[in-house]
Structure 1
Amino acid sequence: MNTSPVVAVIAVDCSTTAVKALVTASDGAVLASASSPLQTRSPAPGRAEQDARSWWTALDEAVRAALQSLPDRGVVRALCISHQRESFVCLDEAGEPLAPAMLWLDGRAAEQVARDGSEHVERLCGKPADITPGLYKLAWLRDHAPDVLDRAHHVVDVQGYLVQRLTGRWVTSTASMDPLALLDVETKDYHPDLLRIAGVRRDQLPDLAPVGADLGELLPVVRQAWGLAAGTVVVAGLGDGQAAGLGVGVTEPGDAYLVMGTAVVIGAQHEEYRPSRAYRTMVSAFAGQRTLETFSSSGTFLSTWFRREFGEAGADGRPDPELEAAAAAVPVGSEGLLTLPHWNATQTPHWDALSSGAVLGWRGFHTRAHMYRSLLEGIAFELRTQLDGLEEATGRPVRSIRAIGGGMRSPLWGQILADVLGRRLHKRADGEISALGAAVVALTTLGEHPDLATASHALTSFEDVVEPLPENVQRYEALLPLYKSLYPTLRDVLHALHV
């Protein structure tokens, strides 16, 4: 008896560390999956680069491996991509990289942020001036490697690069290009003022399509290599943050997603465009809405850094059950240690490329476990500060939080987050949530669900709920004003250390 689903899609997430491919049925069941790693290079302090060609080779490898375990490849009807945002590459006429791709976590453009950031720019693109958007990295190239931009026939985001390899078209989605801060967030089109600052021309940039648009069929050479049927299409995807929101059912104002990844993000939907430095505004997958996000680039990056530098030799930053248990035994507040987790500068709400981290309150009885717990608490306090600012700026309380990502694999960190945020967390640590969001888009485009919201809720599931502990909430509330005073108190000192 044939029990194969009628329709399935390939959902791809090209993240910073790997490309993941899921073959997902219309009911959300994952029929097959595989991944292929990506390597990031840091040739100088503050730089983060990848070979864009590896995006394609890793995607090809992951898709081939996933399809190998699929009994009937004829069920696959479409492919959709989610991806690391703000990253881009400059290509020659043949589509070959002229330089390594500059990633979202590349920090070399602080000078351009200070010079080119302005209220006018922020209002146009919806993003406070920061080292993360591609706009300022392109301005850095204009200043330091103008020949790269002069010779570039194409300047594309991650999806734009991959779609060309898949279909032959130079096109991406508005939600994918938007994080580079080259679009007017209201018109969803390139704005000449932003292109002038970046030093790029419109003819160098990909065409734009809405999320969910049919971008065309797979090239025959790709389709045949993968053993897929004629008529398999590529559907316009979106950045991994917006896709994660779809993957956990955040479809309307009042709900929020919390991504505990290399960076940490709180995201929510909002109806109107209201510029604010309390968040960055992204093009939403939903017509008539905007995606508002707070952002900090020191997420699991920081906990992994600590385990790598101060953990057991040879562990290379991997989770350490003994360290987790020791930190869990440390009282709330880490017995007087308080951490400002600005290891990778600070984004929401300060947007300060020159800030850095600090740990205050050291006493002779403190241990490695105290510092580790204090790092986890510091990131939670940073998120609470951002959540408070988001609610105040929008005038709308966040009633529920869906927490996802590798950081949620730590029961200790999950409890700290629930206690500091003072809210119940619907938790999902495992599964490729951004890829699931891409599957939501593709299945809706194919007509398997009537709209994105219905598809999102139909495919969403959670592993657990973390309830805040009232006694811990009270203790953290008492520490919150101290935490909020750290950055304004230390700002000038931190700047002086790194000029």
Structure 2
Amino acid sequence: MTGYLVGCDIGTGGTKAVVIDLRGSVKGTHYIEYPLITPRPGWAEHHPDTYWDAVVKTIKLSLEKAKINPSQVLGVGLSAMSPACILVDKDLNPLQNSHIWMDRRGTAESMQIKAQIGDDEVFRVSGNPIDPYYATVKLLWEKNNRPELYNKAHKMLTAKDYPLMKLTGQPVTDYGNASLIGVAFDIVKKEWNRPMLQELGLDVDKFPEVFPCDEVVGYVTREAAALTGLVEGTPVVAGAIDCNAAWVSTGIIRPGDNSITLGTAGVWGVVHEEPSFSRGMISVVHAADSRNKYTTVGALVCAGALIRYFRDTFAQVEMHAAQTLQISPYEIMNLEAEKVPAGSDGLLVLPYFMGERTPIWDPLARGVTFGMSLAHGRGHYIRSYMEGVAYGIKQNMKMVSEAGIPINPVVGMVEGGANSRLWRQIMADVLGVKTAYMKNSLGAPVGDAIVAGVGVGAFPNYEIVNDWVEMSEYHTPDPKNEKVYTGMYELYTSLYPRLKEDFVKLAEITGYK
């Protein structure tokens, strides 16, 4: 078989598309950045059409760069940061802004679900906890706070589902995104738990129909073809979550395989086949062989978001220098951080700038910079952000290991912050394991294309990716740094319990709950 595949990933800060051939070579790619809307602390939104506009432009320009005949595209796959809550009416028009995974407004609704259903029952059904992170909680917030929009809504969709709907006309979702809609999604039976939704007063019909990640769920419409440059009738598969798509692209598909994705969020996950889930973690159906495999995920709300925040807020000097030198400002920021020793001379950051997911699940937690002195410079702050994320990943890995889920002793790294050699070494030193890096990987969009390839029969299975994966750089722990980080990690884990009640008081004082 000859032909090409298109993958497109909708991220928190931007969207990237690729065109690959059937040997895994990228023939064309394009990326578009866009802003996050934060109308008040704890809220995080996009306009849904931001996703669609970005998908249109990135696919169109990727096809143009690939210089191929669009009729040769065999299939299309999408992924996105997840979850998100987008309400569409019967004409499939959006009714509100998308409140995304980072949004923490559903604190009261989480307490409502705990009171009505209980943590144990939700975990038994979904393999997940109750938290404002999950889209079912977000939908309940809409019902409680904007009932006129809830009543008008035909379907709730995620950030991947909305452009999928615009591409095909089908308002559906996939097993992975359904896992993060959460609460009432039966992760083993892979269906909505109707009695639970009815008990919460939520209309089951507002939830999208669910499909395996690689199942063809629709075809590019005439209108979408005119905008994207794709051919009308091109098959489109159900799609995936961004981190799982990224892991597919790097061959993280077998039990025990594990990887870190350092995008806006920091996400670590391990693959397993047994439907055995770890309390406090995120449980997701894997994009590879979604009928049979899972990933247990530890997810920090902020990872690359911290470095971008520093760039946008404090790095005007680096931005100007980067423009003059025609390089990325992140390269200059890395050089500053590299001059700082392990442990950042005692500067330690809790990366809870937008609350936190695993393992503390606290929407009221906030970022803390601990140990500041007049001796600390810009490089200290940049490095301490990187180290704080690494401490958070380590905390999650330890909990999953203690739950008995097997984890291979090499952790893969891909995308975003993983492009920083310094950050990869920090991860190796903090985690105490070897890290493996794929330099030329474009991550999630390539994984999306692979999922589409399996779905349309271009590939016999997901093992094909192992013929393409080539790790370009390994990092092993530095014993001297490891010793420093062991002490800093112990301090890191001790700070939050001491501050937990203070975060509650802060929310009460400011009214930002």
Question: What is the deviation of 1:101?
Answer: 1.6
Structure 1 SS opposite 2:121: helix
Deviations 1:145-169 (A, max 9, x none): 1111111112222333223322222
Secondary structure (helix, strand or coil) at the match of 1:21 reads strand
2: CA distance, partners of 1:98 / 1:198:
22
Asked if the contact 2:351–2:389 (Cα under 8 Å) also holds between the matched residues in 1, the reply is yes
Amino acid at match of 1:334: S
Q: Which residue, 70, 77, 99 being the options, matches 2:74? A: 77
AA of the residue aligned to 1:162: P
What is the rounded CA distance, in whole Å, between the counterparts of 2:412 and 2:307 in structure 1? 21
Distance 2:365 2:440 in 1: 32
Question: Cα distance 1:395–1:234, how it changes in 2: closer, same or farther (>3 A)?
Answer: closer
SS state of the match for residue 158, structure 1? coil
Q: Does 1:97 align with 2:94?
A: yes
Matching of residue 465 in structure 1 with residue 474 in structure 2: yes
Report how far residue 295 of structure 1 moved: 0.6
Unpaired segments ≥5 residues, structure 1: none
Change in CA separation of 1:197 and 1:484 when aligned onto 2, cut-off 3 Å: farther
For residues 280-323 of structure 1, the C-alpha deviation after alignment (integer angstroms, 9 at most, x for no partner) is 11112323221110011110111222233332358399735454
2:359 paired with 1:358: no
User: 2: CA distance between counterparts of 1:227 and 1:395?
Assistant: 44
Is this contact kept in 2: 1:405–1:430, CA < 8 A?
no
Structure 2 unmatched ranges of 5 or more: 323-327, 509-513
Q: Distance in 1 between matches of 2:331 and 2:444?
A: 27
The answer to whether 1:369 aligns with 2:366 is: no
Cα RMSD after superposing both structures: 2.3
SS of 2:335's partner is helix
Which of structures 1 and 2 has the larger relative contact order (alpha carbons within 8 angstroms, sep 6+)?
2
**Alignment correspondent of 2:308:** 304
Aligned pair in 2 of structure 1 residues 232, 362: CA closer, same or farther (>3 Å)? closer
Instruction: Give the TM-score normalised by structure 2.
Output: 0.90
Assess, with a 3 A threshold, how the Cα gap between structure 1 residues 470 and 57 changes in structure 2: closer, same or farther: same
Deviations 1:311-354, CA, capped at 9 Å, x for gaps: 23583997354543333222221222222221121221111112
The one-letter amino acid of 1:104's match is: W
Aligned mates of 1:457, 1:199 — CA distance in 2:
46
Residue 430 of structure 1 deviates from its aligned partner by 5.2
- In structure 2, relative to structure 1, the CA distance for the partners of 1:199 and 1:148 (3 Å cut) is farther
Q: Tell me, in whole angstroms, the C-alpha distance in 1 between the residues paired with 2:345 and 2:186.
A: 48
Compared CA separation, residues 40 and 369, structure 1 to 2 (3 A): closer
Question: Paired residue for 1:61?
Answer: 57
Q: Distance in 2 between matches of 1:67 and 1:190?
A: 37
The alpha-carbon distance between structure 1 residues 217 and 341, as it changes in their structure 2 partners (threshold 3 A), is: closer
CA distance in 2, matches of 1:363, 1:213: 55
Following the alignment from structure 1 to structure 2, what is the Cα–Cα distance between the partners of residues 480 and 43? 33
- Paired residue for 1:293? 297
* Deviation string, structure 1 residues 90-138 (Cα, Å, up to 9, x no partner): 1111111111121111121122223323222233222222221112111
Corresponding residue number in structure 1 for 2:511: none
> In structure 2, what is the equivalent of residue 414 of structure 1?
424
1:109 to 103, 106, 110: 106
| Equivalences, count | 494
Cα displacement (A) at 1:365: 2.5
Counterparts of 1:231 and 1:311 in 2: how far apart (Å)?
47
Measured at CA, do residues 323 and 155 of structure 1 come closer, stay the same or move farther in structure 2, by a change above 3 Å?
A: closer
Displacement of 1:77 in angstroms is 1.3
Write the distance in 2 (CA, Å) between the matches of 1:193 and 1:371. 49
Q: Distance in 1 between matches of 2:197 and 2:376?
A: 51
**1:381 maps to 2:391:** yes
Say yes or no: does 1:142 pair with 2:143: yes
Other-structure match for 1:19 = 15
Identity of matched residues, %: 28
Q: Matches of 1:298 and 1:71 in 2, distance apart?
A: 38
Partner of 1:243: 245
Cα deviation code 1:442-465 (max 9, x no counterpart): 11223332212x123234333322
Query: 1:457 and 1:371, CA in 2 relative to 1: closer, same or farther beyond 3 A?
Result: same
Q: 1:13 to 1:420 in 2, by over 3 A?
A: same
Q: Partners of 2:229 and 2:359 in 1: how far apart?
A: 48
Decide which moves more: 146-155 or 196-205. 196-205
Aligned counterpart in structure 1 of residue 24 of structure 2, from 23, 28, 38: 28
Specify the alignment match of 1:484 in structure 2. Answer: 493
1:173 aligns with 2:174: yes
CA distance in 1, matches of 2:168, 2:103: 29
Distance (whole Å) between structure 1 residues aligned to residue 367 and residue 38 of structure 2: 20
Counterpart residue type for residue 342 of structure 1: Y
Shift of 1:193: 4.6
CA contact (8 A) 1:408 1:414 kept: yes
CA contact (8 A) 1:135 1:194 kept: no
Q: 1:191 to 1:305 in 2, by over 3 A?
A: same
Partners of 2:296 and 2:74 lie apart in 1 by 32
Indicate how the Cα distance of structure 1 residues 405 and 224 shifts in structure 2: closer, same or farther if over 3 A, else same: closer
